[in-house]
A and B are shown apart, each in its own frame.
Chain A
Amino acid sequence: MPDTEVRTAIDALRADFRARLAAATTDRDLDALDAAFLSRKNGSVTALLKQVGTVPPDERREFGRLVNAFKTEIESAIEEKRGAVAATRRPAGAIDPTLGSRPIPIGRIHPLMRVRQEVEDIFARMGYEILEGPEVEDDYHNFEALNMPPDHPARDMQDTLYLGVPIAGGTWGAHRGRVPEAQVRAATLLRTHTSAMQIRYMKTFPPPIRLIVPGRVYRRDQLDLSHTPMFQQFEGLVVGRGITLADLKGTFEAMLRDLFGDVRVRLRPSFFPYTEPSAEVDISCQSCGGSGCGTCKHTGWLEILGSGMVHPAVFEAVGYDPDEVTGFAFGMGMERVAMLKYGVDDIRLFYENDLRFLEQFPL
């Protein structure tokens, strides 16, 4: 074997060695590598040395120097790698951080209450007072004072659940330091809307008013995809000198954009006995961007709340002078908002309290 051939053979072995060294990550890999090249029996460097007989005598000395230098190179490279492998070895008592952590249980706020808190916050920023009222009411506050005297056809619009026995309704506004419009009348029905609080509030406090009343309301509706016999509403009431329908428009645009993002808002004339003029408020459909789809019944708009200018008869019932003050009122269903905001198509999901549903909402 001439000198040039020896160098070629060593270069080939070196390339192989370097590749295998780079791939080695454990002591066992390195032991195997050591054996493959340096073992007395079948190491490839040992095998090369054994070929000394084929080398011309005057080149044998040089041959020995080259092969031995290569052998030393391998030994020190393996040694160096052993140090590197040792440095990465886990210390005694090391934990396995890839195991599962110990859970810290955490619950969620109900989606309807998320919506409620969000809406409360929007109106609180606009300077509204937020109050809760009784859920059981009397006919006067729920209907009569809201321009729905007995036998008024509009009472049919809200199928009422009546109590078998009259009871005392819940208290409200105790923190306001005066006796709020007293619970003189026993409650005889489940309130069909939070509007009853309009009357209680106006009878207790003078204008100006900015008020939000969130709470549960009840109607005699069968359970289906879009109805539940109990649901959650926000009542809003703004009263003062010079409050206009344009103010109502501006307020809803601000509130609905805060709640739904970049939507268009429109008002449509409608009818409620306690407001005049009355308006349904729609937002542009976010599913189709207003071009029409199944969600919006191909109109491009989604009804979101009912509203209007407070009817003078309501002002008269609470002792306000309709020539002095005007105002607007509205009612918005929390379920409706939550369904649109979160893409829920069955209202019953809000009342089943299925953890697989509830845990989809963020902390």
Chain B
Amino acid sequence: MRILLSWLRELVDIPDSAEDVARTMSTRGFAVEGIETVGTGDAVIDFEVTANRPDCLSVGGMAREVATAYGVKLRTRGPGASPSGSRGGPKGPAPRSSALQITIENPDLCPRYVGAVADVELRPSPTWMQTRLEAAGIRPISNIVDVTNYVLLELGQPMHAFDHARLAGPEIRVRTARPGETLRTLDGQLRTLSPEMLVIADAERATAVAGVMGGGNSEVSAATKTIVLESAYFNPLSVRRTSKKLGLKTEASVRFERGADPATAVNAMRRALALIEMIGAGRARGGVIDRYPARIKPGVLRLRREKIAGLLGTAIPDRDVRRMLERLGFTLAPAPGGWRVAVPTRRVDVRREVDVIEEVARHYGFDRLPTTFPALTTAPPPVDPRIQRARDLRSALTAAGFFEAVTFGFIAERAAAPFAGEGDLVPIANPLSELFAVLRPSLLPGLMDAVAHNRRREQRDVRLFELGARFMRSTGERQAVGCVWTGAGAPEHWSGSGRPVDFFDIQAVAERVCQALGVEVHTTPADERWLMPGRAAAVFANGTRVGVVGQLAESIADDHGLPGNDPVYAAEIDLDALPPAAARRAVRVEPLPRFPSVVRDISILVDEALPATDVRATIRDAAPPTLVRVSEFDRYQGKGIPPDKVSLSLRLTFRSSDRTLTDAEVQDAMTRVIAALKEKNGAVQR
């Protein structure tokens, strides 16, 4: 709300500069967006008026706040007051009767309608009026339109002028629109109205959308000789719904939908008529006609001293409470433990005792409140395992060289599609753009974009992870961790120890993620649309599939603008599918081995297609419980090895917890292992 300082000063006697006023009012709840100097020694202060305070969308409303803040009196002025303070007013013979008929068909939507008729001559308004309108950001149009806008700025009451001659007779009907009824509004748009919309009509047709915008069919023009002036109070919800439905927001609709003051409607009309006469724009014909079928009474609230202190943490002296509230226009009557407070109808925000206490706190000053600390009265709360889980994963993954990324929860549909089954994506009904059209079914598309961003900026080695939610229709919202890795597996070094990343690097990352959460996992070959065939695996924990690892399919990498020649590896783990991490905290230490272990290596030839996990399983099944570890230490194909075969070297470690193993028993175990490998896996010992 742009407020001209000199206009404000007409209503309150304040000595301070614009900057001081701005500072004071910002501590009273009116943040200042800017101060503009105009002319000599004058300024426009742009106050941010919160949505709950429509009463302050006027110079008069702000003046009341300023008067309270400064502890000075608000000057009351008659309807005929001119800017310089001299009084104008009706002169000459008594005007003719207006003969205006006003009918309100829907008092719930229009509790009050004030009308008047005036004979006018359209001309530009005087300079002082134009200057004030322009300072507030309103374009002067003609003396009549300017008067309605002036009253709007001064008192906050939206007004409208109809051309009397263009109405079908001296009649105003406030009614809902008829089915299919149309109206060309003042902005030139032809609007189709719906039956719940309130209109202002003459005897035949709609001439304005009530509280939103007038119609072209009754617009005042240079030819206008007589006007019908409207000053009404419309139901806020009705105006809001109509304005939303028409997509039409005006100075009037904003005020009506937040709540105008039914009490101001008549004063505003008197003021408008007085201004018309004062600036020589015309004369009222007949009196002001006030229809108020649904009277709105001021609310009465109790205000308890104990509640003021209970909410603010300090007692505020009675006389301060009374003084501040009365300056704001509240009426106080003593009541047990406090007061009964009558709330002026303009204060639509004050509906409960706390709202009154806020008024007290606001003008008492938040800065004068003490600072205390809430008393601790309960035992410390339990830790959310999700919070701890996120921290554990951050530690594990940053230690593995991964940078944490944060990407948006919505992505383009094309990027999302490969990660969800048919119809499983969750679209956004009103997306900002195609790029944010669906909720992400996976964290990986966002991470790939981040990789591409870095690749375009000379970063070849990229390791990123993200923690967050992903969404699908079938499974709803679930927590996941995603990791992507491209470039070096081991960083470049002069010793030659660098090498590019490969599948087994990302597999280790997936395992590390689960390990950090105390979960043992294994991987098996899998197929995923977005992974390269033969380079994809599923991650299992306790027989449940919890994630996927592999090399990104070329087409997917392409789609994200990633160069095809550098492979990108990715892993994603469904954190909600992992067993709870509680077991991880219950640590029991095993005694250390007391007897030496025995190590035996074997090399076998097996089919290339035989999974290593089968070989290990055969060995474990055949060996006695003294086998504590089996691992591959070499895998060879090429010279000396038949095609379709692979040479696999394994290291077996035997140990007993109660004795030193003898050579004979280890040899016996190895004989059984080799026999089993031959029988079950067709292995040939080398």
Chain A residues with a Cβ under 8 A of chain B: 99-100, 102-103, 105-110, 112-113, 117, 120, 127-132, 134-136, 151, 153-154, 156-157, 161-165, 167-171, 173, 175-176, 187, 190, 208, 210, 216, 218, 220-222, 228-230, 232, 238, 240, 242-247, 249-251, 253-254, 266-271, 273, 276-280, 299, 309, 311-313, 326, 350-356, 358-359, 363
The verdict on A238 contacting B51 (CB below 8 Å), with A268-B366, A358-B403 known, is no
The verdict on A102 contacting B257 (CB below 8 Å), with A130-B387, A170-B476, A276-B352 known, is no
- Is the beta-carbon distance between A354 and B313 smaller than 8 angstroms? no
- Is the beta-carbon distance between B50 and A190 smaller than 8 angstroms? no
- Is the beta-carbon distance between B381 and A129 smaller than 8 angstroms? yes
- Is the beta-carbon distance between B366 and A356 smaller than 8 angstroms? no
For the complex, is B312 an interface residue (Cβ under 8 Å from A)? yes
- Is the beta-carbon distance between B397 and A277 smaller than 8 angstroms? no
Interface set, chain B 398-457, CB cutoff 8 A to A = 398-410, 426-432, 436, 439, 450, 453-454, 457
The 12 listed contacts between A and B (C-beta, < 8 Å) are A106-B399, A112-B406, A117-B391, A120-B387, A163-B429, A170-B478, A240-B374, A269-B361, A271-B29, A277-B311, A312-B354, A351-B408
Q: Which of B124-132, B215-223, B489-497 contacts A (4 or more CB under 8 A)?
A: B489-497
- Is the beta-carbon distance between A356 and B457 smaller than 8 angstroms? yes
The verdict on A167 contacting B471 (CB below 8 Å), with A102-B495, A277-B354 known, is yes
- Is the beta-carbon distance between B432 and A222 smaller than 8 angstroms? yes
Please, how many angstroms separate the alpha-carbon atoms of A107 and B386 in the complex? 21
Residue from B366, B397, B494 in contact with A99 in the complex, judged by beta carbons closer than 8 Å: B494
Nearest CB in chain A: distance from B407 CB, A: 7
Q: What residues on B are CB-neighbors of A153 within 8 Å?
A: 51, 236, 240, 257-258
- Is the beta-carbon distance between A245 and B361 smaller than 8 angstroms? yes
Residue from B366, B477, B494 in contact with A168 in the complex, judged by beta carbons closer than 8 Å: B477
Please, how many angstroms separate the alpha-carbon atoms of A352 and B494 in the complex? 32
Residue from B372, B397, B436 in contact with A244 in the complex, judged by beta carbons closer than 8 Å: B372
The verdict on A246 contacting B237 (CB below 8 Å), with A163-B429, A251-B373, A269-B29 known, is no
- Is the beta-carbon distance between B462 and A170 smaller than 8 angstroms? no
Q: What residues on A are CB-neighbors of B236 within 8 Å?
A: 153
Nearest CB in chain B: distance from A208 CB, A: 6
Return the 6 tightest CB-CB contacts between A and B, nearest first.
A246-B313, A105-B401, A168-B476, A244-B313, A269-B29, A129-B381
- Is the beta-carbon distance between B497 and A163 smaller than 8 angstroms? no
Interface set, chain B 36-54, CB cutoff 8 A to A = 50-53
Q: B460-475 interface mask toward A, CB cutoff 8 Å, 1 = contact, 0 = none? A: 0011110011011101
Please, how many angstroms separate the alpha-carbon atoms of A274 and B373 in the complex? 22
- Is the beta-carbon distance between A359 and B362 smaller than 8 angstroms? no
Q: What residues on A are CB-neighbors of B430 within 8 Å?
A: 161-162, 220
- Is the beta-carbon distance between A352 and B426 smaller than 8 angstroms? no
Q: What residues on B are CB-neighbors of A363 within 8 Å?
A: 398
Q: What residues on B are CB-neighbors of A278 within 8 Å?
A: 358
Q: What residues on B are CB-neighbors of A251 within 8 Å?
A: 373-374
Closest to B582 in A: A175
For the complex, is B377 an interface residue (Cβ under 8 Å from A)? yes
Nearest CB in chain A: distance from B474 CB, A: 9
Nearest CB in chain B: distance from A32 CB, A: 34
- Is the beta-carbon distance between B477 and A218 smaller than 8 angstroms? no
Closest to B358 in A: A277
Q: What residues on A are CB-neighbors of B370 within 8 Å?
A: 246, 249
Please, how many angstroms separate the alpha-carbon atoms of A312 and B351 in the complex? 11
Closest to B464 in A: A353
For the complex, is B86 an interface residue (Cβ under 8 Å from A)? no
The verdict on A230 contacting B409 (CB below 8 Å), with A105-B491, A353-B453 known, is yes
Closest to A136 in B: B477
For the complex, is B369 an interface residue (Cβ under 8 Å from A)? yes
Closest to A265 in B: B371
The verdict on A271 contacting B311 (CB below 8 Å), with A107-B401, A108-B404, A169-B476 known, is no
Nearest CB in chain A: distance from B380 CB, A: 6
- Is the beta-carbon distance between A164 and B476 smaller than 8 angstroms? no
For the complex, is B279 an interface residue (Cβ under 8 Å from A)? no
Please, how many angstroms separate the alpha-carbon atoms of A177 and B314 in the complex? 39
Please, how many angstroms separate the alpha-carbon atoms of A354 and B241 in the complex? 45
Nearest CB in chain B: distance from A171 CB, A: 8
- Is the beta-carbon distance between B398 and A107 smaller than 8 angstroms? yes
Please, how many angstroms separate the alpha-carbon atoms of A218 and B576 in the complex? 22
Nearest CB in chain A: distance from B190 CB, A: 26
For the complex, is B28 an interface residue (Cβ under 8 Å from A)? yes
Q: Which of B384, B408, B468 has the most CB of A within 10 A?
A: B384
Please, how many angstroms separate the alpha-carbon atoms of A228 and B431 in the complex? 13
Please, how many angstroms separate the alpha-carbon atoms of A229 and B241 in the complex? 26
Q: What residues on A are CB-neighbors of B406 within 8 Å?
A: 110, 112-113, 232, 350-351, 353
- Is the beta-carbon distance between A216 and B468 smaller than 8 angstroms? yes
Please, how many angstroms separate the alpha-carbon atoms of A132 and B383 in the complex? 11
- Is the beta-carbon distance between B384 and A130 smaller than 8 angstroms? yes
Q: What residues on A are CB-neighbors of B671 within 8 Å?
A: none
What would 4 more interface pairs be, CB under 8 Å, given A164-B428, A358-B404? A120-B387, A129-B382, A153-B51, A161-B429
The verdict on A107 contacting B51 (CB below 8 Å), with A136-B477, A170-B478, A250-B373 known, is no
For the complex, is B555 an interface residue (Cβ under 8 Å from A)? no
- Is the beta-carbon distance between B387 and A269 smaller than 8 angstroms? no
Nearest CB in chain A: distance from B60 CB, A: 20
For the complex, is B385 an interface residue (Cβ under 8 Å from A)? yes
Nearest CB in chain B: distance from A233 CB, A: 13
Nearest CB in chain A: distance from B350 CB, A: 10
Q: What residues on B are CB-neighbors of A358 within 8 Å?
A: 403-405
Q: What residues on B are CB-neighbors of A175 within 8 Å?
A: 382, 384-385
Q: Which of A218, A251, A353 has the most CB of B within 10 A?
A: A353
Nearest CB in chain B: distance from A248 CB, A: 9
Please, how many angstroms separate the alpha-carbon atoms of A264 and B297 in the complex? 44
- Is the beta-carbon distance between B391 and A268 smaller than 8 angstroms? no
For the complex, is B637 an interface residue (Cβ under 8 Å from A)? no
For the complex, is B2 an interface residue (Cβ under 8 Å from A)? no
- Is the beta-carbon distance between B401 and A246 smaller than 8 angstroms? no
Please, how many angstroms separate the alpha-carbon atoms of A109 and B466 in the complex? 10
- Is the beta-carbon distance between B358 and A269 smaller than 8 angstroms? yes
- Is the beta-carbon distance between B459 and A311 smaller than 8 angstroms? no
- Is the beta-carbon distance between A247 and B373 smaller than 8 angstroms? yes
Q: What residues on A are CB-neighbors of B367 within 8 Å?
A: 266-267
- Is the beta-carbon distance between B494 and A247 smaller than 8 angstroms? no
- Is the beta-carbon distance between A218 and B361 smaller than 8 angstroms? no
- Is the beta-carbon distance between B398 and A109 smaller than 8 angstroms? yes
Q: B85-99 interface mask toward A, CB cutoff 8 Å, 1 = contact, 0 = none? A: 000000000000000
Closest to A282 in B: B26
- Is the beta-carbon distance between A107 and B463 smaller than 8 angstroms? yes
Q: What residues on B are CB-neighbors of A165 within 8 Å?
A: 426-427, 473
The verdict on A246 contacting B371 (CB below 8 Å), with A167-B473, A269-B366, A277-B354 known, is yes
For the complex, is B643 an interface residue (Cβ under 8 Å from A)? no
- Is the beta-carbon distance between A245 and B312 smaller than 8 angstroms? yes
- Is the beta-carbon distance between A247 and B51 smaller than 8 angstroms? no
Q: What residues on A are CB-neighbors of B301 within 8 Å?
A: none
Q: What residues on B are CB-neighbors of A267 within 8 Å?
A: 366-367, 369
Q: B237-250 interface mask toward A, CB cutoff 8 Å, 1 = contact, 0 = none? A: 10011000000000
- Is the beta-carbon distance between B479 and A170 smaller than 8 angstroms? yes
Q: What residues on A are CB-neighbors of B53 within 8 Å?
A: 271
Residue from B355, B381, B471, B576 in contact with A210 in the complex, judged by beta carbons closer than 8 Å: B381
Please, how many angstroms separate the alpha-carbon atoms of A208 and B376 in the complex? 9
Q: What residues on A are CB-neighbors of B493 within 8 Å?
A: 100, 102-103
Please, how many angstroms separate the alpha-carbon atoms of A180 and B565 in the complex? 50
For the complex, is B310 an interface residue (Cβ under 8 Å from A)? yes
The verdict on A355 contacting B408 (CB below 8 Å), with A175-B382, A240-B377, A268-B26 known, is no
For the complex, is B602 an interface residue (Cβ under 8 Å from A)? no
- Is the beta-carbon distance between B373 and A170 smaller than 8 angstroms? no
Please, how many angstroms separate the alpha-carbon atoms of A169 and B429 in the complex? 17
Q: What residues on A are CB-neighbors of B450 within 8 Å?
A: 352-353
- Is the beta-carbon distance between A271 and B51 smaller than 8 angstroms? yes
Q: What residues on A are CB-neighbors of B410 within 8 Å?
A: 161, 190, 218, 229-230
Nearest CB in chain B: distance from A293 CB, A: 16
